[in-house]
Chain A
């Protein structure tokens, strides 16, 4: 009887395959003897075993497989798009004869070559807008007052609060005009930055 460790050539596997197989970072508690791969849907366990042995010289003791079925989505990501279900993805976990430990992902400081800072800013904005859109689809439109304020606005708000606290409340009695006093220039002595005409 043929055993799982009897490596051969899968009859379904052509001599020049064009399959793409991605090796995936293991989950935090996954042992180093288990390697996860994203494989084509038509792949079976024996195919992966033979593929890894002949193309990568990696011996595999057993293979577990599962299919991830994504939830239905709207076409083009719009609210009235047609419903469709994205293609499923097959994943296989191979039990390795020799353990393989993945290197740790580079720290945030070490991602400068990937332009991480700009990417992160763009990505967070994108995620925010997606969250807004999906909330709007559900019928909850997030009002401006419910949104998180940006740094500039928060600063302005704080300044306004401070001003309201310190200064006496304005009434017509206290205003300079009713008192018959002369107008005072509030912004006197405030230096503004010169506008760069080339820029605007």
Chain B
């Protein structure tokens, strides 16, 4: 083993897979012979302190290991590693310059484009930035459904992210003016967001009041097990007597058909204008829960 590489130089790959310790000892021996220099050679197979060598064999003896993976490795005593080092024979890949690397194409539908007001300049020029209307007022938002408000909120959130990205880019890349214009745009968005919060808070208070009323109302059952609204008998009788007498069997059938058609139309219209994102799905679920309440 000591002179394996000297005897069999043609073995190549076989000698590449050898422990470092062997490599050290094989190179150290001929050098000493040739130059007569006194290189420190490894005298012991293991380099350690005497105290740690002591073994305790009596029952209940303490653990004498120090759990050091590199114990007995020493740079001074020229010991090698305690495990085999693998050296591959394959040629190493040559580094390629950044300019010569193939150009990375961005997907035109990548979601991160939504952070940009303008795909070329990232920040919009102030002339373009001022082209916006006012924010939504609370009065306008009161007429919107829960879903619409939720969707509009997310449009606002993304717009504010776009404005923040543009601001950062304008400052860092030193594009020029446009700070006050983007501020005005941001304020319009914030007006809308405030309006949404206002409208929803109002709606919540109304709901709370309605629940309070319903608890006191004997006609309403909030347990959720039976139909929530059961009108009093005298009221029902009156209606039945007045209307039921006038309607014939054909008219009742026709009314039922019309109701079914209307329900079908509503169910068709609903999914077409809803862009179903996971958030939207959750919002619908939440709304469903709110309705059930």
Q: Which residues of A contact B (CB under 8 A)?
A: 9, 15-25, 29, 32, 35, 38, 52-58, 96, 98-103, 105-106, 110-111, 113-116, 118-120, 123
Contact = CB atoms under 8 A, between A and B. Distances in A.
B282 A120 contact: no
Given A54-B277, A114-B178, A123-B174, A22 B165 contact: yes
Interface of B: 98, 104-107, 110-112, 114-116, 119-122, 125-128, 150, 153-154, 157-158, 160-161, 164-165, 167-170, 172-178, 193, 196-197, 277-279, 282-283, 286
A59 to B, nearest CB: 9
A102 B173 CA distance: 13
Contacts, number: 115
A106 B168 contact: no
7 nearest CB pairs, A to B: A114-B176, A113-B125, A56-B111, A23-B115, A22-B164, A58-B111, A116-B176
A99 B161 contact: no
Contact of A55 (B126, B154, B165): B154
A115 B177 contact: yes
Given A24-B165, A100-B110, A114 B177 contact: yes
Contacts of B175: 105-106, 111, 114, 116
6 contacts: A22-B115, A52-B111, A57-B277, A105-B175, A114-B175, A123-B174
Nearest to B127: A113
A22 B25 CA distance: 60
A24 B176 CA distance: 17
Contacts of A111: 175-176
Contacts of A118: 177
A168 B112 CA distance: 73
Main secondary structure of the interface of B (DSSP, over half): helix
Given A55-B157, A111-B175, A113-B176, 15 more contacts: A9-B282, A16-B197, A20-B160, A21-B164, A22-B165, A24-B172, A25-B172, A35-B112, A99-B106, A102-B122, A103-B119, A103-B121, A114-B170, A114-B178, A118-B177
B194 to A, nearest CB: 10
A93 to B, nearest CB: 13
Contacts of A101: 104-106
A32 B104 contact: yes
B62 to A, nearest CB: 36
Nearest to A32: B104
A35 to B, nearest CB: 6
Nearest to B125: A113
Q: Which of B119, B128, B168 neighbours the largest number of chain A CB atoms within 10 Å of its CB? A: B168
A106 B120 contact: yes
A84 B104 CA distance: 44
A106 B175 CA distance: 8
Nearest to A16: B153
Contacts of B170: 114
A6 B286 CA distance: 22
Contacts of B114: 56
A20 to B, nearest CB: 5
Contacts of B196: 16
A63 to B, nearest CB: 14
B164 A20 contact: yes
A18 B164 CA distance: 13
A16 B194 CA distance: 12
A143 to B, nearest CB: 30
B173 A55 contact: no
Contacts of B154: 16, 55
A16 B173 contact: no
A18 B193 contact: yes
Nearest to B126: A114
A15 B104 contact: no
Contacts of A100: 106, 110, 112
Contacts of A102: 122
A102 to B, nearest CB: 8
A118 B178 CA distance: 12
Nearest to A8: B278
A17 B157 CA distance: 8
A22 B125 contact: no
Contacts of A15: 150, 279, 282-283, 286
A58 B127 contact: no
A108 B262 CA distance: 61
Contacts of A52: 111
Contacts of B105: 101
